[in-house]
Chains A and B, each alone.
Chain A
Amino acid sequence: MTLNLLNLLSLTIWVPIIAGIVVLFAGKNDNLARFISILGAIAGFILSLIVYLQFDANFSGVQFEENYPWIQSLNIYYHLGVDGISMPFLLLNNFITVTVIIAGLKVIKSKVALYNSMFLLMTGFMSAVFCALDAMVFYVFFEAMLIPMYLIIGIWGSSNRVYAALKFFLYTLLGSLLMLVVLIYLYYVSSDTFEIFAFYKTPLTMLAQVLIFIAFFFAFAVKVPMWPVHTWLPDAHPEAPTGGSMVLAAITLKIGGYGILRFMLPIVPDAARALSGVMITLSLIAIVYIGFVSIVQKDMKRLVAYSSISHMGFVTLGSFLFVGQYLNTWALQGAIVQMISHGFVSAAMFMCIGVMYDRVHSRNIADYGGVATKMPIFAAFFMLFSMANSGLPGTSGFVGEFMVIMGSVQTKFIYAFFAATILIIGAAYTLWMYKRVVFGEVNNKHVASMSDVNFAEFIVLFLLAFAVIAMGVYPEMFVAKMQTGVKDLVMEVANTKLLIK
């Protein structure tokens, strides 16, 4: 085991949060606020990188564990730790924040301090969500996250932002409140503890399992989002500022997927097995139907939002593929890889749209055309990300989808058949949009006056492009770290914990 003298996880969580609070009080001095935020974000990233590098891939169980009593009256412990499943998300989260802060440097001109501090707070909260081993710590940060996100969408969003912010908030709150009741219930049945791993061992009747499954479904499916509880996403994304969309797509959605792996599958494995058919059907509907819906979108951000839902369908599909009593390891790894990859790709797509939006102030595909002639460097980046979004081999988008499709062949061929249509549909909506926006004649004076990417934008796009290609060419760097964690999860879910009265 590695040294843990420094409480690395706590540092990773609290450094951005403290930086965020400091920035909040930097107040009117915009440049100071920007400077501190970059420092905070990079510090957070470096810390998470250290955790990543020190992480022992062969060790089964949690690492970097910290456990202190927090609220003894309620038996809540400040218990943190990472395993192979949460590790990649921690890194992704801190990475995306760096890009978001850099992306907002030039663009955000009003309430700079508040904007940056909200993102730093978000990062810290989300890191805590990924590291939490106490269900109440998880819940507190899971909910706390809503506050900065609500403000980000509501203050810096575009025309319909208020509606979108409220819809986002209430939708996610509904799910999490039901989860709260379940967590309290589990607290009592697992003899007065909020330890997530203690929940794993608690035997439950089938009825209880199914009810708990449904509550968790509301909490996490809304976040993922799965069809049919996805409708908040296409409203929230277009109205959110670029940074907000990036964080929302790249990380917030992943919390849903992570919750499924951390809570839903291991706590109620029997219900998960029994209901996996339903979940798979919903996932396939998301993949195919939402894929078609994105083809017809006129608004670029809406299009990418719908494509996110479709891609996240792969995550839920991969999470619920069983072979006998065992979860399908291939598909499960594919689901996690898909989440990470989608984190990079969707963030990059929203960044690209944001770059164009800052110049033309329109998200309509029809307002563009011939961008390539004015912004050649940008067009190249955008091309790469579009390819990744449609799952081209060599980019990160391919790896996860491929693994999930492989896994679904083992379970049932028909699943694989439907899942594989994404490769066609995805290419259709992404590349068709790309064609209409980037190629062709310059069709209006706004586009004609566009200038190519500036330095900050270049850095962000470059970082994301690097991540997308690196993961596409050498996915092993993530897969190796998660292998033991995935294996543990598969073993955990394979056991039945049915309580027969």
Chain B
Amino acid sequence: MNISLFAAIPEIFVTGMLVIMLLIDAFIDEKKKAVNTIWAILTLIGGFVLQLYVFIPGKVQLAFNDMFILDAMACGMKLFTYLTGIIVVLYVKRYVDDKQLLKGEFYAIFLFAILGMLVMISANNMLILYVGLELLSLALYGLVAIDRDNVRSTEAAMKFFILGALSSGLLLYGISFIYGATNGHLQLESVYAEIGALMKGHVNNASLVFGVVFVVAGLMFKLGLVPFHMWVPDVYEGSTLAVTTVIGTVTELAAVVFVIRFLVGGLALLGPQWSIMLSVLAFLSLIIGNIVAIAQTNIKRMLGYSAISHMGFIAFGLMTTSVEGLSAVIFYVVTYVLTALAGFGVLLMLSRDKYECEKIDDLKGLNKSHPIYAGILLLVMFSLAGIPPLVGFYAKLKILEALVATGYIRSAIFAVVMSLIGAFFYLRIVKVMYFDEQDSEIIVADNCILGRSALVLNGLALLVLGVVPQQLMVACLRFITG
């Protein structure tokens, strides 16, 4: 019985701060709600620092009767989560004030979502993974619906909730089969060992594979892979921009780690089975994501489809099941989140009060009025399109390398052809900003200096990481190898 809680101190801290925040929020008057923002940032910074303090390099720490794990991947990805969370708060602060979303305890729900992600990243047990996922999902349903007078938000929240509940059901159903087939194990490493023993005995493992199918379906829903993608464009479009930012960036980090824990941590020996499924889903996602994105006029919706296609790339990386492939996946998701974050940051900057910058035409002539923001969005678009010397290129390169190394050359060719199609709609954004004349004046709402400098640094990071990606690559490899 391991009842040490040391490894979970950051999570416990975040929970404590959250409870205090709810209390403060209940007793504070309307005008002083801004304190919530500061409290949220403090919570995240505190979590970040504690995480650094708790982690012992080279050692795997367990807590809560081994159901909670703190290894290199958990620590690294949680640090990224805190960091992205802080940046998200800086970006959305002014937007949330303007749209008067503070009434709905935006930050409290946001922190619950973060907590859910932290649990998902650190879970070492299928049920804990599920608990983390539900904590995250419920918070996200709330966030999507937070602008409750907005019909589209409500619709999106409803869709998200129903489909999300369905996929959670699928996941649980799959877990129950695995539980049965492995003689009642949920702990990831015992599931792994049990499957190993089963495979040796050549017993009929149909129920195991049956379970894996459901698990993969449930997981892929969370990643938003075709054909489980229906919620993605609607939720991206329907949510207020602040919530789209949360769903489109920081959530992806946790989702990918979640999938790695499940498939590689627990079900690695069934790799041949699930990698076929992933390859089909990746093919479909790259096709649908890239082609349908071309037809979009709404940037949020377009970014939704773009997210689907990027997840397709990630699924290709997972499919290889090699160490290179998995470290490429981690690298991909970290850089994708960084890139998407800068993109959403600019859009948040351009939205104000009653006005939401969401039509592609809203960006017309941005270069003329705000060359710096246009420049950042240019870097974002070229990075998403995978053009060197931006960091998005190396992400794609690493995935392609992993594919070629494991003999999936045709998949690699397919992926590059699809990213060519993808380049088309990213370039269209650049075209609108740089080549078109503006027809209405673009007003940039004044954000605090911290938010603006974070945005500029974020934009530059895409370029800097594109020139010197070495350190990040090494770090991502270490997350996988431990």
The interface-forming segment of A38-46, A54-62, A138-146, A310-318 is: A138-146
Residue A74 lies at the interface, judged by CB distance under 8 Å to chain B? yes
Complex CA–CA separation, A169 to B435 (angstroms): 15
The residues of A that contact B424 with a CB separation of less than 8 Å are: 166, 170
Q: How far is the CB of B333 from chain A (nearest CB, A)?
A: 17
Assess whether B420 is in contact with A174, with CB atoms less than 8 Å apart.
yes
Kindly identify which residue among A72, A140, A146, A184 contacts B470, using a CB–CB cutoff of 8 Å: A72
Residue A181 lies at the interface, judged by CB distance under 8 Å to chain B? yes
Assess whether B400 is in contact with A181, with CB atoms less than 8 Å apart.
yes
Assess whether B477 is in contact with A184, with CB atoms less than 8 Å apart.
no
Q: How far is the CB of B121 from chain A (nearest CB, A)?
A: 23
Assess whether A73 is in contact with B470, with CB atoms less than 8 Å apart.
yes
Assess whether B401 is in contact with A74, with CB atoms less than 8 Å apart.
yes
Assess whether B412 is in contact with A184, with CB atoms less than 8 Å apart.
yes
Assess whether B477 is in contact with A170, with CB atoms less than 8 Å apart.
no
Assess whether B388 is in contact with A140, with CB atoms less than 8 Å apart.
yes
Complex CA–CA separation, A187 to B382 (angstroms): 25
The residues of A that contact B398 with a CB separation of less than 8 Å are: 74
Given the known A-B contacts A143-B387, A188-B404, are A154 and B431 also in contact in the complex, defined by CB atoms under 8 Å?
yes
Assess whether B431 is in contact with A162, with CB atoms less than 8 Å apart.
yes
The residues of B that contact A147 with a CB separation of less than 8 Å are: 382, 387
Residue B315 lies at the interface, judged by CB distance under 8 Å to chain A? no
By beta carbon, the residue of chain B nearest A142 is: B388
Complex CA–CA separation, A72 to B409 (angstroms): 23
The residues of B that contact A206 with a CB separation of less than 8 Å are: none
How many residues on B have C-beta within 8 angstroms of the other chain's C-beta atoms? 32
The residues of B that contact A383 with a CB separation of less than 8 Å are: none
Given the known A-B contacts A150-B430, A185-B404, are A143 and B469 also in contact in the complex, defined by CB atoms under 8 Å?
no
Residue B423 lies at the interface, judged by CB distance under 8 Å to chain A? yes
Residue B417 lies at the interface, judged by CB distance under 8 Å to chain A? yes
The residues of A that contact B474 with a CB separation of less than 8 Å are: 73
CB contacts under 8 Å to B, within A116-147, are 139-141, 143-144, 146-147
Residue B393 lies at the interface, judged by CB distance under 8 Å to chain A? yes
Assess whether A180 is in contact with B404, with CB atoms less than 8 Å apart.
no
Residue B445 lies at the interface, judged by CB distance under 8 Å to chain A? no
CB contacts under 8 Å to A, within B382-435, are 382, 387-389, 393-394, 397-398, 400-401, 404-405, 409, 412-413, 416-417, 419-420, 423-424, 427, 430-431, 434-435
Assess whether B473 is in contact with A71, with CB atoms less than 8 Å apart.
yes
Given the known A-B contacts A150-B427, A155-B434, A166-B431, are A71 and B388 also in contact in the complex, defined by CB atoms under 8 Å?
no
Given the known A-B contacts A71-B470, A146-B387, are A165 and B477 also in contact in the complex, defined by CB atoms under 8 Å?
no
Assess whether A74 is in contact with B473, with CB atoms less than 8 Å apart.
yes
Residue interface bits B461-482, CB-to-A below 8 A is 1, else 0: 0000000111001100100000
Complex CA–CA separation, A135 to B203 (angstroms): 49
Q: How far is the CB of B319 from chain A (nearest CB, A)?
A: 16
Complex CA–CA separation, A74 to B388 (angstroms): 15
Residue A177 lies at the interface, judged by CB distance under 8 Å to chain B? yes
Residue A442 lies at the interface, judged by CB distance under 8 Å to chain B? no
Residue A8 lies at the interface, judged by CB distance under 8 Å to chain B? no
Given the known A-B contacts A147-B382, A147-B387, A184-B404, are A177 and B435 also in contact in the complex, defined by CB atoms under 8 Å?
no
Residue interface bits A163-179, CB-to-B below 8 A is 1, else 0: 00110011001100110
The residues of B that contact A173 with a CB separation of less than 8 Å are: 387, 420, 423
Complex CA–CA separation, A184 to B403 (angstroms): 10
Kindly identify which residue among B416, B430, B469, B470 contacts A177, using a CB–CB cutoff of 8 Å: B416
Assess whether A180 is in contact with B387, with CB atoms less than 8 Å apart.
no
The residues of B that contact A154 with a CB separation of less than 8 Å are: 430-431, 434-435
Complex CA–CA separation, A74 to B400 (angstroms): 12
Assess whether A166 is in contact with B388, with CB atoms less than 8 Å apart.
no
Residue A161 lies at the interface, judged by CB distance under 8 Å to chain B? yes
Complex CA–CA separation, A180 to B397 (angstroms): 8
Kindly identify which residue among B400, B405, B430, B434 contacts A180, using a CB–CB cutoff of 8 Å: B400
Complex CA–CA separation, A184 to B416 (angstroms): 12
Assess whether B412 is in contact with A181, with CB atoms less than 8 Å apart.
yes
Among B409, B417, B427: residue with most chain A CB under 10 A? B427
Residue interface bits B239-273, CB-to-A below 8 A is 1, else 0: 00000000000000000000000000000000000
Assess whether B400 is in contact with A139, with CB atoms less than 8 Å apart.
no
The residues of B that contact A170 with a CB separation of less than 8 Å are: 420, 423-424, 427
Complex CA–CA separation, A161 to B470 (angstroms): 38
Complex CA–CA separation, A151 to B412 (angstroms): 29
By beta carbon, the residue of chain B nearest A186 is: B404
Complex CA–CA separation, A144 to B463 (angstroms): 12
Assess whether B388 is in contact with A143, with CB atoms less than 8 Å apart.
yes
Residue interface bits A351-395, CB-to-B below 8 A is 1, else 0: 000000000000000000000000000000000000000000000
By beta carbon, the residue of chain B nearest A211 is: B409
Assess whether A140 is in contact with B419, with CB atoms less than 8 Å apart.
no
CB contacts under 8 Å to B, within A36-87, are 70-74
Kindly identify which residue among B389, B400, B417, B420 contacts A184, using a CB–CB cutoff of 8 Å: B400
Assess whether A144 is in contact with B470, with CB atoms less than 8 Å apart.
no
Q: How far is the CB of B423 from chain A (nearest CB, A)?
A: 6
Given the known A-B contacts A150-B430, A181-B413, are A140 and B400 also in contact in the complex, defined by CB atoms under 8 Å?
no
Complex CA–CA separation, A147 to B474 (angstroms): 28
The residues of B that contact A178 with a CB separation of less than 8 Å are: 413, 416
By beta carbon, the residue of chain A nearest B435 is: A154
Assess whether B393 is in contact with A187, with CB atoms less than 8 Å apart.
no
Complex CA–CA separation, A73 to B401 (angstroms): 12
Assess whether B427 is in contact with A169, with CB atoms less than 8 Å apart.
yes
Q: How far is the CB of A470 from chain B (nearest CB, A)?
A: 36
The residues of A that contact B419 with a CB separation of less than 8 Å are: 177
By beta carbon, the residue of chain B nearest A153 is: B435
Q: How far is the CB of B327 from chain A (nearest CB, A)?
A: 9
Complex CA–CA separation, A128 to B53 (angstroms): 44
The residues of A that contact B397 with a CB separation of less than 8 Å are: 74, 180, 184
Q: How far is the CB of A257 from chain B (nearest CB, A)?
A: 22
The residues of B that contact A71 with a CB separation of less than 8 Å are: 394, 468-470, 473
Assess whether B401 is in contact with A184, with CB atoms less than 8 Å apart.
yes
Assess whether B389 is in contact with A140, with CB atoms less than 8 Å apart.
yes
Complex CA–CA separation, A151 to B179 (angstroms): 57
Q: How far is the CB of B368 from chain A (nearest CB, A)?
A: 9
By beta carbon, the residue of chain A nearest B396 is: A180
The residues of A that contact B394 with a CB separation of less than 8 Å are: 71, 74
CB contacts under 8 Å to A, within B440-476, are 468-470, 473-474
Q: How far is the CB of A402 from chain B (nearest CB, A)?
A: 39
Complex CA–CA separation, A73 to B481 (angstroms): 14
Assess whether A144 is in contact with B387, with CB atoms less than 8 Å apart.
yes
Complex CA–CA separation, A170 to B474 (angstroms): 32
Assess whether A144 is in contact with B435, with CB atoms less than 8 Å apart.
no
Q: How far is the CB of A261 from chain B (nearest CB, A)?
A: 23
Complex CA–CA separation, A263 to B469 (angstroms): 26
Complex CA–CA separation, A169 to B477 (angstroms): 33
Q: How far is the CB of A149 from chain B (nearest CB, A)?
A: 12
The residues of B that contact A74 with a CB separation of less than 8 Å are: 394, 397-398, 401, 473
By beta carbon, the residue of chain B nearest A139 is: B388
Q: How far is the CB of A76 from chain B (nearest CB, A)?
A: 9
Kindly identify which residue among A73, A161, A174, A181 contacts B435, using a CB–CB cutoff of 8 Å: A161
Q: How far is the CB of A184 from chain B (nearest CB, A)?
A: 5
Assess whether A181 is in contact with B401, with CB atoms less than 8 Å apart.
no
Given the known A-B contacts A140-B389, A147-B387, A165-B435, are A188 and B430 also in contact in the complex, defined by CB atoms under 8 Å?
no
Kindly identify which residue among B382, B389, B413, B473 contacts A73, using a CB–CB cutoff of 8 Å: B473
The residues of B that contact A155 with a CB separation of less than 8 Å are: 434-435
Can you spell out 23 A-B residue pairs with CB atoms less than 8 angstroms apart? A71-B394, A71-B468, A71-B470, A73-B469, A73-B474, A139-B388, A143-B387, A143-B388, A154-B435, A155-B434, A155-B435, A165-B431, A165-B435, A170-B420, A174-B417, A180-B397, A180-B400, A181-B409, A181-B412, A184-B400, A185-B409, A187-B404, A188-B404
**Which 3 A-B residue pairings sit nearest by Cβ, starting from the closest?**
A73-B473, A177-B416, A140-B388
Spell out A's residues near B (CB within 8 Å): 70-74, 139-141, 143-144, 146-147, 150-151, 154-155, 161-162, 165-166, 169-170, 173-174, 177-178, 180-181, 184-185, 187-188
Q: A162-B431, A177-B420, A181-B400 are in contact. List 4 more A-B contacts (CB 8 A).
A: A170-B423, A177-B419, A184-B404, A185-B409
